[in-house]
Structure 1
Amino acid sequence: MSRSVTWLRPAELSPDEHRRRLLLATTTGLGVAGLAATAYPFLDSMEPSARALAEGGPVSVDLSTFAEGEMRTVAWRSKPVWILRRSPAVIAALQQPNSALLDPLSRHSVQPPGCDNATRSLKPEWLVAVGICTHLGCIPLLHWHDAALNAELHAPGGYLCPCHGSRFDLAARVVKNVPAPTNLEIPPYRFTGPAEITIG
């Protein structure tokens, strides 16, 4: 047995039915408004803060004051990014083929297009690399004139991770037989002037 629903026109509603429908509509409207008012702060809290936006944004660096062999660290996305000005002698040493490197051609490394070369940079004079070891996240230290550090590379100095001894050359390429599995990351960057880069 089926029940049929009879729809009454507003003019045919009894005063109690009219009152019920009005209360239902009012309650529904207030419920939706209350839900929206409650949800707004939660949804708004998911937006990144001004500080987070600033830290994640591009970072510009003036290169005109760098001396040859000087390295500086800037923060980008809460990571240390090294900027090193290399000498012609270092560049020449980096461009020599070397079997002591794990990934000399950077085939299994993170770098932007144009940096998959022997110097891992857009311009050979400048190294821009994230200074976090790819093994466990320690920060390697620059040993500029330590010829014994990477003696098998026949290159001056390099980076040494103090935590577990991973070694990198001055193009941030990892040496074989150390804990780090890959070369250091090269962040996305571009030259925005003859002596200025923008990271990010």
Structure 2
Amino acid sequence: MTVRKEKQEERREFLSSSVKLAGAATVGALGVPMLDGLNPSAATEAASSVEIDVTKVPPGGQVTVPWQGKAVMVMNRTPEMLATLEKVQAQGILKDPDLKVPQQPPYAKNIYRARMEQKNMLVLVRICTHMCCIPLYKPKPNSVRPGWLGGFHCPCHGSMYDLSARVIVTSPAPRNMAIPEYHYEDGGKKVVVTKMYPKARLC
């Protein structure tokens, strides 16, 4: 083989290898984003949940934080506030006293609409089920109307809810307010809201 032919062969091999490498790099560059797209990033996972320090919520108080474009509220109900729940139920003024409409996860299907290990803590999506307004927190008795035992009042259209966010019969709102999926961490000191309960509807 002449020197000229050897150089031509070397040149062909070099070009062939370069094309293969370029092709592999392109496939790799496209493949990585595709694989990454199948796995949510740490930022995405962090944005999908919210953590709230419940030790900073005083008895009778509440804190509302933004979460996935919605307002999530954590309320620390006193024993006196919890006692009003049975009174409201006994009055027969609730649209869905037995929680037949799935507006809460199964572990919150009770009079407190909460996890029983911390039944005083109400975790809810603070959105009226009528037209997606933000109801006011009105815990003081008689602050909305005579005989009011405490709860939530939506001044936009008059919907009312008790201290478990259960809708009262005279309200235009059709359903109880939604309870998201959540759990406790750090020995119950921190509540972590993870996602909407799939069967629940906001408005």
User: Normalized against structure 2, the TM-score is what?
Assistant: 0.68
Residue 172 of structure 2, aligned match among 155, 175, 179: 179
1:164, CA displacement in angstroms?
1.1
> How many Å apart are 1:52 and its aligned residue?
4.7
> Where does structure 2 lack aligned partners over 5 or more consecutive residues?
1-21, 194-203
Matched, 1:144 2:135: no
> Is the counterpart of residue 124 in structure 1 residue 119 in structure 2?
yes
Residue 60 (structure 2) aligns with = 69
Q: How far apart are the structure 2 equivalents of 1:173 and 1:105?
A: 10
Unaligned runs of 5+ in 1: 1-29
How far apart are 1:67 and its partner, in Å? Answer: 1.5
Q: Cα distance 1:168–1:47, how it changes in 2: closer, same or farther (>3 A)? A: same
The runs of at least 4 aligned residues of structure 1 exceeding 6 Å deviation read 33-50
Match of 1:17 in 2: none
Equivalent in the alignment of 2:10: none
Task: Measure, in 1, the Cα distance between the counterparts of 2:183 and 2:94.
Answer: 26
RMSD: 3.4
Structure 2 equivalent of residue 111 of structure 1: 104
The more displaced of 49-58 and 137-146 is: 49-58
- Which one of 30, 47, 61 corresponds to residue 55 of structure 1? 47
The higher radius of gyration belongs to 1
SS of structure 2 residue aligned to 1:92: helix
How far the C-alpha of 1:156 sits from its partner, in A, is 2.6
Give the one of 58, 66, 71 matched to 1:80: 71
Kept in 2, the 8 Å contact 1:71–1:82? The answer is yes
Q: Which amino acid aligns with 2:109?
A: D
Measure the CA separation in 2 of the matches of 1:62 and 1:71. Answer: 9
Distance 2:136 2:40 in 1: 33
What is the percent sequence identity of the aligned residues? 35
Is the contact between residue 94 and residue 155 of structure 1 (CA under 8 Å) also seen in structure 2?
no
Deviates more, 1:104-113 or 1:35-44: 35-44
Matching residue of 1:16: none
Alignment of structure 1 residues 32-43 onto 2, 5 Å: none
Specify the SS of the correspondent of 1:93: helix
- Number of aligned residues: 179
